[in-house]
Amino acid sequence: MDKKIALVTGASRGIGRAVALALAAADCHVLINFKRRESDAAETLKSIQAAGGQAELCPFDVGNATACDDAVGQLLSKHQRIDILVNNAGIRQDGLFVFMKPEQWADVIATNLNSFFNLTRPVVKQMALNRWGRIVSIASTAGQTGAEGQVNYSAAKAGLIGASKSLAREVAKRGVTVNVVAPGFVETDMLEGLPRQQFLAQIPAGRFGQPREVAAAVAFLCSDAAGYITGAVLNVNGGIYT
């Protein structure tokens, strides 16, 4: 069988880039999705190729249902299948709920949650037909505990967890697993503007996580070895939530 085909959304930087590198190292052909950061995505591609892996760039907006349908159609036409889907793309637009603008809510929900429907629905159909597939969505501790100033973000991440658990029950008999990785505070651009020292004091491990540590959890859930794990939420958070 050829290399497994892995689509990673938001793979231009941060956790997405680390996941793309980890899956390439696991002998997958990686489809590097991005929306705007083409130069960053190209760096992800360059890193994979430098390590001897295979990948390609796949620019489209995961928050746009039509764009997702078109992209999946083109990718299936080219590769015949998508074996692994990692729903990683996400944005923050923080603010206290009483002052939150409708577009702040809509944009975060579209990118962080609606994208699950937009992309997973067309992908999981062919996974079920092939009787093998791995779907992993990147949630957040915020979706498990809530976070002040992040009602929109927390709602989207909590929605990812509920959607994944439900879909896992629907497709388990077809050899498709659906899981969630829920990072805590990880050294990425998503920490910008947050009170780092305040959060650091709350983490039992005494440090922020690294993208590669989240990626290792994702790579495991995408492997054959994780075939009996589905509907799970794997916390990668230094003990801040258990």
Domain ranges of the chain: 4-236
Alpha carbons 177 and 40: distance in angstroms, whole number: 30
Of the pLDDT bands very low, low, confident and very high (cuts 50, 70, 90), residue 144 is very high
Q: What is the pTM of this model?
A: 0.96
**Backbone phi, psi, residue 134, to 5°:** -135, 125
Percent of the chain with pLDDT over 70: 100
Contact 52, 41 (CB under 8 A): no
Alpha carbons 105 and 159: distance in angstroms, whole number: 14
Looking only at Cα atoms, what is the longest distance across the chain? Answer: 54
Smallest CA-to-CA distance from 209 within 238, 231, 172 is with 238
Q: Quote the strand ranges of 54-206, DSSP E.
A: 54-59, 84-87, 133-138, 176-183
Annotation: CATH topology of 4-236: Rossmann fold (3.40.50)
Q: 1 pLDDT exceeds 60?
A: no
Alpha carbons 48 and 71: distance in angstroms, whole number: 22
**Of 60, 132, 153, 185, catalytic:** 153
To the query of whether residue 241 is one of the catalytic residues in this protein, the response is: no
Q: What is the pLDDT of residue 150?
A: 96
